[in-house]
Amino acid sequence: MKKDLLTLKDITRDDLDNIFELSAKLKRERGKNSYAPLTGKSIGLIFAKSSTRTRVSFEVGVGELGGHPLYLDQSKMQVGRGETVADTAHVLSRYLHGIVIRTFSHADVEELARVATIPVINALTDEYHPCQILADLLTIKEYSGKIDSSVKIAFYGDGRSNIANSLILAAKLTGIRLTISSPEGEHPDAERIAGFANIEWQPDPEKAAKDVDYFYTDVWVSMGFEDERARRMKIFVPYQVNEHLFDLAKPGAKFLHCLPAHRGEEVSGGVMDDPVRSIVFDEAENRLHVQKAVMSMLMGR
Closest to ligand NVA by CB, 210 or 262: 262
If binding is defined by CB under 6 A, does position 162 make contact with ligand NVA? Answer: yes
Closest to ligand CP by CB, 7 or 202: 7
129 is catalytic: yes
Q: Select from 32-40, 183-191, 215-223, 235-243 the region that touches ligand NVA (CB under 6 A).
A: 215-223
Out of 222, 268, 278, 296, name the contact with ligand NVA by CB under 6 A. Answer: 222
Out of 223, 248, 250, 282, name the contact with ligand NVA by CB under 6 A. Answer: 223
Select from ligand NVA, ligand CP, none the partner in contact with residue 127, using the beta carbon and a kind-dependent cut-off of 5 to 8 Å.
Answer: none
287 is catalytic: yes
Select from ligand NVA, ligand CP, none the partner in contact with residue 198, using the beta carbon and a kind-dependent cut-off of 5 to 8 Å.
Answer: none
Closest to ligand CP by CB, 162 or 179: 162
CA 298 to each of CA 4, 15, 120: distance values in angstroms, whole numbers, following the listed order: 7, 11, 9
Select from ligand NVA, ligand CP, none the partner in contact with residue 52, using the beta carbon and a kind-dependent cut-off of 5 to 8 Å.
Answer: ligand CP
218 is catalytic: yes
257 is catalytic: no
Closest to ligand CP by CB, 53 or 177: 53
Out of 6, 19, 79, 258, name the contact with ligand NVA by CB under 6 A. Answer: 258
Closest to ligand CP by CB, 41 or 129: 129
Select from ligand CP, ligand NVA, none the partner in contact with residue 222, using the beta carbon and a kind-dependent cut-off of 5 to 8 Å.
Answer: ligand NVA
Task: Please report how close the Cβ of residue 43 comes to ligand CP at its closest, in angstroms.
Answer: 16
- Short-list 7, 1, 61, CA closest to 31: 61
Out of 10, 186, 213, 218, name the contact with ligand NVA by CB under 6 A. Answer: 218
Task: Please report how close the Cβ of residue 247 comes to ligand CP at its closest, in angstroms.
Answer: 28
Contact 155, 163 (CB under 8 A): yes
Select from ligand NVA, ligand CP, none the partner in contact with residue 213, using the beta carbon and a kind-dependent cut-off of 5 to 8 Å.
Answer: none
Return the C-alpha torsion angle 292, 168, 156, 245, nearest 10: -90
HEC letters along the chain: CCCCECCHHHCCHHHHHHHHHHHHHHHHCCCCCCCCCCCCCEEEEEECCCCCHHHHHHHHHHHHCCCEEEEEEHHHCHHHHCCCHHHHHHHHHHHCCEEEEECCCHHHHHHHHHHCCCCEEECCCCCCCHHHHHHHHHHHHHHHCCCCCCCEEEEECCCCCHHHHHHHHHHHHHCCEEEEECCCCCCCCHHHHCCCCCEEECCCHHHHCCCCCEEEECCCCCCCCHHHHHHHHHHCHHHCECHHHHHHCCCCCEEEECCCCCECCCECHHHHCCCCCECHHHHHHHHHHHHHHHHHHHHCC
Select from ligand CP, ligand NVA, none the partner in contact with residue 140, using the beta carbon and a kind-dependent cut-off of 5 to 8 Å.
Answer: none
Contact 180, 164 (CB under 8 A): yes
Please pick, among 4, 158, 213, 218, the residue that the annotation labels catalytic: 218
Please pick, among 97, 129, 160, 289, the residue that the annotation labels catalytic: 129
- Burial (CB count within 10 angstroms: exposed 0-12, middle 13-18, buried 19+), residue 35: middle
If binding is defined by CB under 6 A, does position 186 make contact with ligand NVA? Answer: no
Binding site for ligand NVA (CB under 6 A): 161-163, 218-219, 222-223, 258
Q: Which residues are tagged catalytic?
A: 102, 129, 132, 218, 258, 287
